[in-house]
Chain A
Amino acid sequence: MNSEKYKRFAFKKMNLRTKTLLIISLTALLLLAIVINSFFIDTSSITTNFPLRNMGPSLEHLFGTDWMGRDMFTRTMKGLGLSIQVGAFASIISTIIAVVLGLLSSMNKYIDLFVNWLIDLFSSIPHLLLIILISICLGGGAFGVIVGVGLTHWTSLARVLRAEIKQINTSEYVKLSKNLGKSKLWIARKHLLPLILTQIVIGTILIFPHAIMHEASVTFLGFGLSPHEPAIGVILSESMKYLATGSWWLAFFPGLSLLIIVLLFDLIGDNLQKILDPTNAHE
Chain B
Amino acid sequence: MQEKLLEVSNISISFLQYSAGLRQSNLKVISDLTLDISSGEIVAVLGSSGSGKSLLAHSILGILPSNASLSGKMTYLGKDLNQKRKEKIRGDEIALIPQSVNYLDPLMKVSNQVIGECENEEDKKSKLLKQREIFEKYGLSKEVDDMYPFQLSGGMARRVLVSTALISNPKLVIADEPTPGLDEKSVEETLNHLRQMAQDNVGVLLITHDIDAALSVADKIAIFYAGYVIEIANVEDFSGNGENLIHPYTKALYNALPQTDFKLTTGHQPLHGELPPGCPYFERCDNPTEKCSNNLPILTEISDKKVRCYRANEFKNNNVAIKEESSDELHHTDEIGSFEELNYSEKLDYIEEKDSSKEAGV
A26 to B141, CA, bound (A): 64
Q: Of residues 22 to 42 in B, which have CB atoms within 8 Å of A's CB atoms?
A: 22, 24
A86 to B17, CA, bound (A): 40
- The verdict on A171 contacting chain B, using a C-beta distance below 8 Å, is no
- Residue pair B67, A282 in contact (C-beta under 8 Å): yes
- The verdict on B317 contacting chain A, using a C-beta distance below 8 Å, is no
Known: A282-B16, A282-B17, A282-B18. A13 touches B69 (CB 8 A): no
A6 to B67, CA, bound (A): 10
- The verdict on A196 contacting chain B, using a C-beta distance below 8 Å, is no
Main secondary structure of the interface of A (DSSP, over half): helix
Known: A10-B16, A282-B15, A282-B16. A17 touches B22 (CB 8 A): yes
Shortest distance between the CB of A14 and any CB in chain B (Å): 6
- Residue pair A14, B24 in contact (C-beta under 8 Å): yes
Chain B contact residues (Cβ within 8 angstroms of A): what range?
10 to 19
- Residue pair B69, A17 in contact (C-beta under 8 Å): no
Please, which residue of chain B has its CB at the minimum distance from the CB of A5?
B69
- Residue pair A21, B22 in contact (C-beta under 8 Å): yes
Known: A2-B71, A283-B67. A10 touches B24 (CB 8 A): yes
- The verdict on A9 contacting chain B, using a C-beta distance below 8 Å, is yes
- Residue pair A283, B66 in contact (C-beta under 8 Å): yes
Contacts of A43 in B (CB 8 A): none
Q: Of residues 1 to 51 in A, which have CB atoms within 8 Å of B's CB atoms?
A: 2, 6, 9-10, 13-14, 17-18, 21
A283 to B24, CA, bound (A): 10
A13 to B25, CA, bound (A): 12
Contacts of A2 in B (CB 8 A): 71
Please, which residue of chain B has its CB at the minimum distance from the CB of A283?
B67
Contacts of B22 in A (CB 8 A): 14, 17-18, 21
A14 to B22, CA, bound (A): 7
A282 to B203, CA, bound (A): 35
Contacts of A282 in B (CB 8 A): 15-18, 67
Known: A281-B18, A282-B17, A282-B18. A13 touches B71 (CB 8 A): no
Contacts of A17 in B (CB 8 A): 18, 22
A280 to B246, CA, bound (A): 42
A159 to B188, CA, bound (A): 47
- Residue pair B69, A9 in contact (C-beta under 8 Å): yes
Please, which residue of chain B has its CB at the minimum distance from the CB of A9?
B69
Shortest distance between the CB of A127 and any CB in chain B (Å): 36
A6 to B17, CA, bound (A): 14
Contacts of A6 in B (CB 8 A): 69
Please, which residue of chain A has its CB at the minimum distance from the CB of B14?
A6
Contacts of A14 in B (CB 8 A): 22, 24
Q: Of residues 303 to 352 in B, which have CB atoms within 8 Å of A's CB atoms?
A: none
- Interface mask (B2-22 → A, CB under 8 Å = 1, otherwise 0): 000000000000011110001
Other than A9-B69, A14-B24, A18-B22, give 5 A-B pairs with Cβ distance below 8 A.
A17-B22, A281-B18, A282-B17, A282-B18, A282-B67
**22 A-B pairs in the complex with CB atoms less than 8 angstroms apart:** A2-B71, A6-B69, A9-B69, A10-B16, A10-B24, A13-B16, A13-B24, A13-B67, A14-B22, A14-B24, A17-B18, A17-B22, A18-B22, A21-B22, A281-B18, A282-B15, A282-B16, A282-B17, A282-B18, A282-B67, A283-B66, A283-B67
| Chain A residues packing against B (C-beta within 8 Å) | 2, 6, 9-10, 13-14, 17-18, 21, 281-283
Nearest first, the 10 A-B pairs at minimum CB distance are: A282-B17, A282-B67, A6-B69, A18-B22, A14-B24, A2-B71, A17-B22, A10-B16, A283-B67, A282-B18
